[in-house]
Amino acid sequence: MRSTVQEGGHLGVMIAEVVAGLEPVAGKRYLDATFGSGGHAMALLDASAPDGQVLGLDRDPAAIERGQSVTDRYGGRIRLYETPFADLATALSEHGWDRIDGAIFDLGVSSQQLDTAQRGFSFRFDGPLDMRMDQGRQTQKTAAHLVNELDVTALTRLFFQLGEEPHAKRAARAIVLARSREPLQSTRQLATLLEEKLPGGRPGLHPATRVFQALRMAVNQELEQLEQGIQAAMRHLAWGGRLAVISFHSLEDRLVKHVFKAASTPPPVEGPLRLLPHVRLPAPPFELVTRKPRIPGENELRTNPRARSAKLRIIQRRAPS
């Protein structure tokens, strides 16, 4: 999840590592695909002064509204678009950019979203079971729709696949039984039910954690959006351009690792040519900057415990040889 920013707040997760990894310079173009509160965008603008530019995307209209102070501060060097990052190609085209020199995806839910009860992301507050990143989309199903409409089999699959919940079937059965008496409409209703019906996990992990994660990811189609978004960003990287992705749980990190590995692995040589030792394999279009994911340092973890699960991976587009 992204940490808070702005004046007087945290500046996002692994800011220094992202700047070091993307190596921003003056005159270049950068994409912050998950603007949030602007921490990474401001760091890129500062590092690429005086004329580096940033395009910031966020599907949450509240984030775009908060970002006005950032656009005021940096003037024409930054432009914000309210759009999911899966549609970044459209935003780039409308902005007149064909190529970008670097991009950052900081995945997950921001502290502002978690700490706003009406968004329904957190079991720490009582609010509606919503969980939509972009609440203005009235046609999008909410978490309440999912828990009150899906059958036991579908709920079990959802909690197991997206939440990696070991007691997925128990949670699904408890929900279906409870909603037969009255619909589940609030975060407190669902959290209390799961706390009563599921065994405790590791210390500090609320029994509802994985189920809430699964519902949020399903509501917002997060894995589908992620794959579409990073593939689109890679297609628009200039020669030598770098893409950085910060993930916060194993499903995201596994997807990023798979996409990066596929893009940085030479294509197999088939047929008789594979037996010839002098055959030179074509270089893959990308190369890994990080063989293993980077993690936050101890100083950041002390000031921002929410960064503890963050993993940063970076890939670079090869220049033609």
pLDDT of 4: 36
Local confidence band at 81 (pLDDT 50, 70, 90 cut-offs): very high
Between these two residues, 271 and 106, which has the higher pLDDT value?
106
- The alpha-helical segments, DSSP class H, found in the chain are 15-22, 39-47, 61-66, 68-74, 88-95, 111-114, 143-149, 152-163, 168-181, 187-197, 209-219, 222-235, 250-264, 298-303
Domain boundaries, the chain: 15-112+222-317, 134-219
Residues 41, 32 contacting (CB under 8 angstroms): yes
Could you report the per-residue pLDDT of 189-230, keeping only the tens digit for each?
Answer: 999 999 999 987 666 688 999 999 999 999 999 999 999 999
φ, ψ dihedrals at 173, nearest 5°: -65, -40
2 sits in the region (left: phi over 0; alpha: psi -120 to 50; else beta) called beta
pLDDT higher than threshold 90 for residue 320:
no
Residues 194, 209 contacting (CB under 8 angstroms): no
Name the residue with tokens 């689109």. Answer: 232
pLDDT of 279: 62
Could you report the per-residue pLDDT of 128-183, keeping only the tens digit for each?
Answer: 999 888 776 655 799 999 999 999 999 999 999 999 999 999 999 999 999 999 99
pTM of the model: 0.88
Residue 103: name the closest of 262, 264, 229 by CA.
229
Local confidence band at 56 (pLDDT 50, 70, 90 cut-offs): very high
Q: The domain 134-219 belongs to what CATH superfamily?
A: Putative methyltransferase TM0872, insert domain (1.10.150.170)
pLDDT of 126: 85
Tokens at 122, concatenated? 């957190």
Q: Do domains 15-112+222-317 and 134-219 have the same CATH topology?
A: no
Name the residue with tokens 């005086």. Answer: 50
CATH number of 15-112+222-317: 3.40.50.150
Could you report the per-residue pLDDT of 239-293, keeping only the tens digit for each?
Answer: 999 999 999 999 999 999 999 999 999 877 666 655 566 666 778 999 999 999 9
Sign, Cα dihedral of 45, 51, 56, 62: positive
When the pLDDT of each residue in the chain is averaged and rounded to a whole number, the result is 88
Name the residue with tokens 């699959």. Answer: 157
